[in-house]
Structure 1
Amino acid sequence: MDTNTLTPEVINQAQSWIINNQSLLLSYGVNIVAAIITLTIGFMLVRTLTNGVNSLLKKRNVDNTISDFITSMIKYALLAFVIIAALGRVGVQTASFVAIIGAAGLAVGLALQGSLSNFAAGVMLIGFRFFKAGDYIEAAGTAGTVRSVQIFTTILMTADNRMIVVPNAKILNDKIINVSREKTRRLDLEIGVSYSADLKLTKEVLERIINEDPRVLPEPAPRIAVSNLGASSVDIIVRPWVNATDYWALKFDLLEKIKNELDANNIGIPFPQMDVHLIKSDVA
C-alpha cells in the first residue's frame, strides 16, 4: 500500500478499531499462543509417553512386533487428540470438527480401502502371531528376517542387509513360511552319482560324513536312500536333522565334504553331456 494513501482519517479509523477491539485481539492472541504451547508440549508428552510405553513393554519381554505395533497405535491416537485440543484453543468447534473428521474419514476410508485392509491385516498378524521379530520368513514373493510389524507394513531385512517394506495385506493373503519357528530343521540334499558307482560304498561314505559331523542331531535319525534313477545319474537323498541355527553352515560344509570324499573314493558324479554326430553329405 502506498503510504501517501494513509490519510489522517484512515489512521484514526485504524487506531479506533484497534482500541475498540483490544479485548478481542488479546483473546485471539492468547488463544493462538495457547494453541502453539499445547502443540509443543503435547508433542513432547506424546513422544515421552510412547517411548515409556515401548520401554515398559520391552522390560516385560513383550515381542518387538507387538510392542512396536501398540506404540504406533498409541502415538497416532494421542497426536490426533493433541491436534484437536489445539484447534479447540483457537476457537474451532471441536464437536463439529470431530463430526467433519468422521464424515471425511468415511470418504477417505472408502478411497483408501487398500490401506485399511493393510491395517486390518496388521492387527491379525499381531493377534495370530504367525511370526515374531527376528524370525526368517518367506511371504508375498520375498524373504527376510522380520524387523517389525507396523500399522500398514511389515519390515523385513534380507541376508545381504537390504530392507524390504511389504504391505501387511499381501503377507496375510499369501502363504507364510516361517523358517525360524521350530528349533530344528531337516536338511535335504540330493546327490547324483554315476550308474557305474558302487551304491553300497557310496552310502557308506555318505553315512560316515554325516556321523562325523557333531552338528547332525542323532534324533530323528538321518535318512540316506536312493530316491530316483535319472537319465544320467542315480540320485541319493541325504536328510540329516540339525538345529535351525546350524542349517546353512552345515549345508555348505556337507556339500564340500561329500564332493571331496566321493572323488577320493573314485565315485563319479555325472554332469550334463551332449553327443554331437557329424553326417557327411555328398551334396556340394
Structure 2
Amino acid sequence: MNLNTIFLSTQSLQEGAEEVVKKVSKLSEYLGKAQDQLIAFGWKLLVVVLIWFIGKKIIRVILHILEKTFNRSNMETSVSTFLMAVIKAILYGILVVILISNIGVDTSSLVAVLGTATLSIGLALQGSLANFAGGVLILIMKPFRVGDYIITPDKEGTVTGLDIFYTRMLTADNRLVVIPNGTLSNSNIINVTHEPIRRLDLSVLIDYSENIKKVKDILERVASEHELVLKDYDTQIFVNSFDPSAINIGIRMWVKTEDYWTLKWDILEKIKEDFDANDVTIPFDQLDVNITNRDVVSK
C-alpha cells in the first residue's frame, strides 16, 4: 500500500467522521428542541387542565347564583329551567374556546372553522333547531307551565320539565313522556288546569215512564248538598235529548280544578244511590223484535 492510498483512506475516514459528528449534532439539536417543545406543551397542557377545573367551578358558582336569583324573582319553573340550560351551554362553549386558544390554536381561524361547522351542523340538525325554536315559542306564548295537566293529539299528562329541545310530562299512570318542542309548539294543546275552576258536565238516563220534575229535584238536591260543588255558580239541570230507550238528563256544575275527578266519581255514585232510594229506573238499551205471520210474509 503506497502513501497516496493511505492518505486517501485517512481523508475518507476523516470526512466520514465529520459527517457523523454533524448528524449527531443535528440530532442532539433536534432532541433539545423537541425536549423544549414537550416541556412547553406540558406546561400548556397543565394550564389547560387548571383552566378547565377552575372554569367548571366558576360556571357552577354562576349557575348556582342564577338559580337562586330566578327562585327569588318567582320566575316560572319552565322559564328558569330553559334559561339555565341555555346559559349553561353558552358558558361551557366559552370555556372550550378559551381552552383551545391556550393550546395555541389561532382563534380567528377557529372562528371561521366553527362558523362553517355550525352551518353544516345546522343543516344536518334542522329538527333539533326546530325543537329549540319551539321551546322559545313555548316560553314566549306560555300555553302551559310546569305542573299543568295538558292534552296533546297523542298524549296527555302533567308537565314536569321544559328543556332546550324537549318537554317532559308524566301520565296519570306515572309513565314519562318526552315530546320534542317543535312538535309540541305546532300541535293543538288543551291545558286542563290553566283555570282555577272547571265545569263538570254529566248526563244520566231515565226511563220514559219517570217523572222528569221528580228526577230534576233529586239531581238538584244531590248537587246542592255536595261540598265540592261551587255554590257561587248556577247548577244547570235540563232535558238533553230523547234517546231511543231513555230520556237523557244533562247536569252542569262548577268545581275547583283540583277537585274535578273527585267530584265526578263521587257524585255519580250518590246519584245512583238516590235514584235507587226513590225508585227511579235507569234503563238499558232495548231492541224490540216483532215477528209477523210467516204466511203473510211468504205471500
TM-score of the superposition, structure 1-length normalised? 0.89
Distance 2:24 2:262 in 1: 86
Shift of 1:19: 2.1
Q: CA contact under 8 A between 1:64 and 1:133: conserved in structure 2?
A: yes
Q: Partner residue of 1:82?
A: 95
- Residue 180 of structure 1 pairs with residue 193 of structure 2: yes
- The 1:93/1:232 distance shift into structure 2, 3 A limit, reads same
AA partner of residue 216 (structure 1): V
Q: 1:198 maps to which residue?
A: 211
Structure 1 contact 140–171 (Cα < 8 Å) conserved: no
Are the counterparts in 2 of residues 194 and 268 from structure 1 also a CA contact under 8 Å? Answer: yes
Letter in 2 for 1:222: T
- Partner of 1:189 in structure 2? 202
Contact (CA 8 Å) 1:140, 1:170: kept in 2 or not? no
Alignment partner, residue 112 of structure 1? 125
Q: What secondary structure, in the 3-state scheme, does the structure 2 residue paired with 1:197 have?
A: coil
Aligned-residue identity in percent: 37
- The counterpart of 1:19, out of the listed 32, 39, 46, is 32
Residues 1:61 and 2:74 aligned together: yes
Kindly state the Cα deviation for residue 47 of structure 1 after the two structures are TM-superposed.
2.5
Deviates more, 1:91-100 or 1:227-236: 91-100
Q: 1:260 to 1:14 in 2, by over 3 A?
A: farther
In structure 1, the residue matched to 2:182 is 169
CA distances 1:238-273 after superposition (whole Å, capped 9, x unpaired): 111111111111111001111111122111112234
Residue 248 (str. 1) matches residue 257 (str. 2): no
Provide the rounded CA distance (Å) in 1 between the counterparts of 2:24 and 2:281.
Answer: 106
Measure how far apart 1:39 and its partner are.
1.8
Say yes or no: does 1:152 pair with 2:165.
yes
Amino acid at match of 1:39: W
Larger Rg: 2
Q: Distance in 2 between matches of 1:31 and 1:140?
A: 55
Q: Supply the AA of the counterpart residue of 1:110.
A: L
Q: Specify the SS of the correspondent of 2:151.
A: strand
Code of the residue aligned with 2:187 in structure 1: it is: D
What is the match of residue 6 of structure 1? none
Give distance in 1, aligned partners of 2:242 and 2:24.
104
3-state SS of 2:198 partner:
strand
SS of equivalent to 1:81: helix
State the partner residue of 1:48.
Answer: 61
8 Å CA contact 1:225, 1:238 repeated in 2: yes
Q: Deviations over 1:118-145 (max 9, x none)?
A: 1111101101111111111112421111
Higher helix share: 2
Q: Is the 8 A contact 2:245 2:286 kept in 1?
A: no
CA distance in 1 between counterparts of 2:52 and 2:285 reads 71
Determine whether 1:272 maps to 2:285.
yes
Where 2:168 maps in the other structure, the secondary structure is strand
Unaligned runs of 5+ in 1: 1-8
Task: Give the number of aligned pairs.
Answer: 275
Farther off after superposition, 17-26 or 243-252? 17-26
2:216 & 2:112 partners in 1: Cα distance? 76
| 1:142 alignment partner AA | K
Alpha-carbon shift at residue 55 of structure 1 (Å): 2.1
Q: Does 1:96 align with 2:89?
A: no
RMSD (Å), alpha carbons: 2.5
Q: Which moved more, 1:263-272 or 1:232-241?
A: 263-272
**Which moves more between the two structures, 44-53 or 97-106?**
44-53
Shift of 1:13: 7.5
Does 2:271 match 1:258?
yes
1:155 counterpart SS class: strand
Match of 1:219 among 225, 228, 232: 232
Superposed displacement of residue 79, structure 1: 0.7
Kept in 2: contact 1:187–1:247 (CA 8 A): yes
Instruction: Quote the Cα distance in structure 2 between the aligned partners of 1:139 and 1:15.
Output: 73
